[in-house]
A = this chain, B = another copy of it.
Amino acid sequence: MPRTLSDLCVHTITTKPWSLETAVEKYAVAGIRGISVWQDAAEAVGFARAGRILADSPLEVVSYVRGGFFPHSSAEKRARALDDNRRLIDEAATIGAPLLVLVCGAEPQQSLSESRRQIQAGIESLIDHASDQNVRLAIEPLHPMYADTRSAINSLGQANDMTESIDHPQVGIAVDVYHLWWDDQLEGEILRCGNHDNLYAFHICDWKVPTTDMLLDRGLMGEGCIDVPLIRSWVQAAGFRGYHEVEIFSNEYWALDQDVFLDRITEAYRNHS
């Protein structure tokens, strides 16, 4: 049976050609209830104005994307990354987003274990500021093909370990099917994540066969090899009741008429998630 759209959230990057105002208007008309806002979309209209656009809309702001990129071989760069993240937390608060998604970063000039230590230290040093601004932080484990420069956190098991080690309600996890679908430990780690109250966000899309670009060739749910409904069932069994966020980077879809694409998103959500 097709799903209703009541849990559907769309990331502004998914419909990148649209301005924030257009995205808000189009999503609302399509019956979408949630929106996750990427920095470029908010910055283009100014953060205060972005906050008003969103507050005046029927949409709920689900998350702000994306902070992180903590590891660097120089202490000066690590300090600058923390400043950037504090500003991102402020921006999230300004636009009314309760959650900042963290793409944690990786520094190919140093070991993954050193990068992981710097990630944990970076997140821990942001907790006070994030608490003051009432913005939660979500570690997003990224696919291992991004371990060189985008994230040294590459499995949900690792993200669970780090989040439980940080052990603070301000810090949780974003589970993205694209990054994690291949993992034979996924069901158990999702349950563990939920049992520790660390499951803060759920992102969906699909892995196209073949995938022609390591970054910009994500698919709509149902057109690839990820069993999104199965992973959703695990996330729901783990107690997650939040939005299901469609986050697609795709040169192919960005080149399409975005109204047509949005129709395909809601159709894919209804029938293949």
Contacts and interface: CB of A to CB of B under 8 A. Distances in A.
A148, A149, A155 — most chain B CB neighbours (10 Å): A148
Contacts of A158: 184
A184 B116 contact: yes
A211 interface: yes
A209 interface: yes
Interface stretch (A3-11, A57-65, A139-147, A254-262): A139-147
Contacts of A182: 112, 144, 147, 154
B181 A147 contact: yes
Given A108-B225, A227-B111, A148 B184 contact: no
A207 interface: yes
A140 to B, nearest CB: 15
Contacts of A113: 184
A145 B112 CA distance: 19
The number of chain A residues touching the other chain, given as a range, is 20 to 34
Nearest to A106: B225
Contacts of A224: 108, 148
Nearest to A225: B108
A210 interface: yes
A47 B211 CA distance: 35
Nearest to A151: B182
Interface in A72-112: 108-109, 111-112
Interface string A147-179: 111000011001000000000000000000000
A263 interface: no
Interface string A204-238: 00010111001000000000110100100000000
A113, A184, A214, A227 — most chain B CB neighbours (10 Å): A184
List 8 A-B pairs, minimum CB-CB distance, nearest first.
A108-B225, A147-B182, A144-B182, A145-B145, A108-B209, A148-B209, A148-B225, A144-B144
